[in-house]
Chains A and B, each alone.
Chain A
Amino acid sequence: MRVFLTSPWIPEEWIRAHGLEPRGIWSAEEFRRGALPLSAGLCAFAEAAVRFAGAQTDSAVIFTTSCDQLRRGFDAATLHGQRRAFLFNLPATQTPVAKQIYRADLERLGQFLLELGGSAPRPEILRREMLQADEARRRLHEAAPVPAENQVPLALVGGPLSAVDRNLFNAIATAGGCVALNATESGERSLCPAFDLNACGDPFDALVTGYFENIVDVFQRPNTRLYSWLKPRLLSRRARGIVLWHFTGCDLWRAEAQTLREVFNLPVLLLEADETAGISPRDVNRLQAFVETLK
Chain B
Amino acid sequence: MIYAGIDAGSRSIKAVLFDTDRAQVLVSGLADQGVEQERLASELFEKLLTEAGLERLQISGVAATGYGRNAIRFADTTITEITCHARGVHRLAPDARTVIEIGGQDSKVIALEDGGRVRDFAMNDRCAAGTGRFLEMVASRLDMDWQKLAEVARQSKKPALISNMCVVFAETEIIGLLAEGKPLPDVVAGVQNAIATRVAALAGRFISPPVYFTGGVALQPGMARALEEVLSCPVRVTPQPQFTGALGAALLAGKSFKATPVLHQPGGW
Contacts and interface: CB of A to CB of B under 8 A. Distances in A.
Interface of A: 34-40, 274-276, 280-282
Contacts of B169: 282
Contacts of A282: 163-164, 169, 172-173
Nearest to B159: A35
A37 B163 contact: no
A39 B176 contact: no
A282 B163 CA distance: 10
B173 A37 contact: no
B173 A35 contact: no
A39 B173 contact: no
Given A280-B173, A281-B176, A282-B173, A37 B197 contact: yes
B201 interface: yes
A45 to B, nearest CB: 15
B165 A274 contact: yes
Contacts of A36: 197
Nearest to A39: B201
Given A276-B163, A282-B169, A35 B176 contact: no
Contacts of B162: 276
B167 interface: no
B192 to A, nearest CB: 12
Nearest to B203: A37
B198 A37 contact: yes
Most buried by B among A37, A280, A281: A37
B223 interface: no
B204 interface: yes
B2 to A, nearest CB: 42
A24 B40 CA distance: 60
A280 B169 CA distance: 12
A171 to B, nearest CB: 14
A282 B173 CA distance: 8
A35 B191 CA distance: 12
B150 interface: no
- Please give me the 7 A-B residue pairs with the lowest Cβ-Cβ distance, nearest first: A276-B163, A37-B201, A37-B200, A281-B176, A39-B201, A280-B163, A37-B197
Contacts of B127: 40
B259 interface: no
Interface of B: 127, 161-165, 169, 172-173, 176, 193-194, 197-198, 200-202, 204, 230
A38 B163 CA distance: 12
Contacts of B173: 280-282
A37 B161 contact: no
A276 B159 CA distance: 14
Contacts of B197: 35-37
24 contacts: A34-B161, A35-B161, A35-B193, A35-B194, A35-B197, A36-B197, A37-B197, A37-B201, A38-B201, A39-B201, A39-B204, A40-B127, A274-B163, A274-B165, A275-B163, A276-B161, A276-B162, A276-B163, A280-B164, A280-B173, A282-B163, A282-B164, A282-B169, A282-B172
Contacts of B164: 280, 282
Contacts of A39: 201-202, 204
A37 B203 CA distance: 10
Contacts of A274: 163, 165
A124 B244 CA distance: 71
A276 B197 CA distance: 11
A274 B173 CA distance: 15
A101 B174 CA distance: 50
Contacts of A37: 197-198, 200-201, 230
Contacts of A281: 173, 176
A65 to B, nearest CB: 24
A282 B166 CA distance: 13
Nearest to B201: A37
Given A34-B161, A35-B161, A274-B165, 8 more contacts: A35-B163, A35-B193, A37-B201, A39-B204, A276-B161, A280-B173, A281-B176, A282-B169
A276 B230 CA distance: 15
A37 B193 CA distance: 10
A281 B127 CA distance: 22
A65 B161 CA distance: 32
Nearest to B190: A35
